[in-house]
Structure 1
Amino acid sequence: MWIVLALVAALIAVVLLVAAMKPDTFRVARSIAVGAPPEAIMPMIDDFHRWTGWSPWEKLDTDLKRTYAGADNGLGAIYAWEGKKAVAGRMEIVGITPPHLVSIKLDITRPFKASNMAEFSLRPEAGGTIVTWSMTGRQTLVSRIMSIFFSMDRLVGKDFETGLSNIRQNAEHQETGDHG
């Protein structure tokens, strides 16, 4: 019995030590080349009403309730959502430099609370734009312990890739006039 308790205590101590050595912030980022200028891409990002056309999370919950407030788009635009299957949260555009940068404060309210910053940067390049979607946030001791078993990069990285691919498809179809 004592051996089992000692092993469990040692395991807990190792997990806490590894978690304590992890960084207190995280960053997830993905980039994609889009064959359209930043001016064609920016309206898809700085207008939350248009996120239904590309966001990887919009179709996860058919009962998703959306609320828009503040400005229609750009600085001060607010989007809140709640559903049965999706997490609940709120986003607000807190910084914008058209057509190159959109900074968004992201607050998750359910199933857990988290506050992160998301950023979309649009860098012109020959024949189009490099769009980078990133998210940064603080990691509490609990989230650092969780990160031992679940990587934020693996949890949301694929979704960022899907969203960026959707943005590319929409922007390039818009540029060629192909709206089908």
Structure 2
Amino acid sequence: MFKKFVFALTALIVGFTAFVAMRPATYRVERSLTMATPVDLPFGLVNDFHRWHFWSPWDALDPKMKKTFDGPYAGPGAIYSWSGNEQAGQGTMTILDARPYESIHIQLEFLKPWPSKSNTTFTFEPVAEGVTVRWTMEGTNNFMGKAFSLFMDMDGMIGQDFEKGLATIKTLTETEAKNRLERQAALEAKAEAEAATRAAQPTEAPQANTATP
């Protein structure tokens, strides 16, 4: 009886392992959002890891999360590392390439809850309404990743985070774009008022030269 139980358990484990191994070896998550803003505003928020806390959907997972920044302040070579609770995990992001106002490529490496690597890309496409920001993540599923996909929809789970992050970027950049226009309009109105004031000021008539007889 015990041998039959061991045999059945072994067969179950082997079957489950084989089933997990047949899961997709790669994954891809992509979301996009159009924003009524100049392209430099969303590009700047993504290209500088110091500014990710304004919009990142994961930053609030652990208020006590430890963060470190290495390399250049922003752009290619910039490195951001974090270590937090079970939800935040531990990992590193490195900007591999950044083409101003076109694209940003980032390598994402998780150390916890389990090791994994993926490539993240942000693209910025000018459109009539402003700019469309597209956020993509691609990677390879190891055994743990394949097993995890049996119980969780990775596209749905990470996709929701992407949607939140993009929505926050949209709010921040559209607000700043509006403020920028208002500041510009105020400066132009001030300049026009000053020019009108100068034009309205009377000019002194030149004094006639009197010759001494």
Task: Output the TM-score relative to the length of structure 1.
Answer: 0.89
Does the 8 Å contact 1:116/1:136 carry over to 2? yes
Task: Choose between structure 1 and 2 for higher RCO, CA contacts under 8 A separated by at least 6 residues.
Answer: 1
Please list, as runs of the form range in 1=range in 2, the aligned pairs for 1:2-151 lying within 5 A after superposition: 8=9, 11-85=12-86, 86-151=88-153
Does the 8 Å contact 2:34/2:129 carry over to 1? no
Cα separation, 1, equivalents of 2:125 and 2:20: 36
1:86-138: CA deviation from partner (whole Å, max 9, x where unpaired): 21111110011111110101111122111111111111111111111111111
| Number of the residue aligned with 2:167 | 165
Q: Choose 99-108 or 147-156, whichever is displaced more.
A: 147-156
One-letter code of the match for 1:147? S
Determine which structure has more spread, i.e. the larger CA radius of gyration. Answer: 2
Percent identity of equivalent pairs: 35
Higher helix share: 2
Does the 8 Å contact 1:75/1:94 carry over to 2? yes
The structure-2 alpha-carbon separation of the partners of 1:4 and 1:124, relative to structure 1 and needing over 3 Å to count, comes to farther
One-letter code of the match for 2:150? I
Name the SS for the 1:112 alignment partner. coil
Cα separation, 2, equivalents of 1:14 and 1:154: 27
Gaps of 5+ in 2: 181-213
Q: Choose 32-41 or 74-83, whichever is displaced more.
A: 32-41
1:61-81: CA deviation from partner (whole Å, max 9, x where unpaired): 111111111011111111111
Cα separation, 2, equivalents of 1:18 and 1:148: 10
Task: Output the TM-score relative to the length of structure 2.
Answer: 0.76
The structure-2 alpha-carbon separation of the partners of 1:174 and 1:152, relative to structure 1 and needing over 3 Å to count, comes to same
Q: Give the total of aligned pairs.
A: 178
Cα separation, 2, equivalents of 1:34 and 1:161: 13
Name the SS for the 2:171 alignment partner. helix
**Cα displacement (A) at 1:14:** 4.5
The structure-2 alpha-carbon separation of the partners of 1:40 and 1:10, relative to structure 1 and needing over 3 Å to count, comes to same
Cα separation, 2, equivalents of 1:142 and 1:41: 34
Does the 8 Å contact 1:78/1:92 carry over to 2? yes
Cα separation, 1, equivalents of 2:149 and 2:52: 28
